[in-house]
Amino acid sequence: MRFVLFLGCLIPFRLPSLEITARRVLDKLGVEIEDVSDFSCCPNTIAVEAVNDDYWYFLAARNLALAEKQGLDILCLCSGCSESLKKPTWN
């Protein structure tokens, strides 16, 4: 299995041990991880939605498109980022 690892903006700076642990566990499980350096921060959904819904949709769509360009699904360690990537309804 291969995934693109989406760390968001919180994990690398505030919880680096979570990233290190996840990479070690995933390696032991035989899960291959690819990094995408161009991912955007997916800001707090409540704050961004209140200010500009379109901007929030754009950020989520951009991050999803970067993973799609790699031909891989996203593996996300942050529940807030997962919500940002999952929540938009593309009507």
Q: How far is CA 68 from the centre of its chain?
A: 12
Q: Per-residue b/e over 13-40, b at no fewer than 16 CB within 10 Å?
A: eebeeeeeebeeebeeeeeeeeebeebe
How far is CA 55 from each of CA 38, 47, 87, rounded to the nearest angstrom? 17, 11, 14
The 10s digit of each residue's pLDDT in 17-58 is: 999 999 999 999 999 999 998 998 876 666 666 667 777 788
- Model confidence, pTM: 0.81
Instruction: Tell me what pLDDT residue 3 has.
Output: 97
**Tens of pLDDT, residues 61-70:** 899 999 999 9
> Beta partners for 32?
2
pLDDT reported for residue 6: 94
pLDDT classification of 72: cutoffs 50, 70, 90: very high
CA atoms within 13 A on the CB side of 61: 10
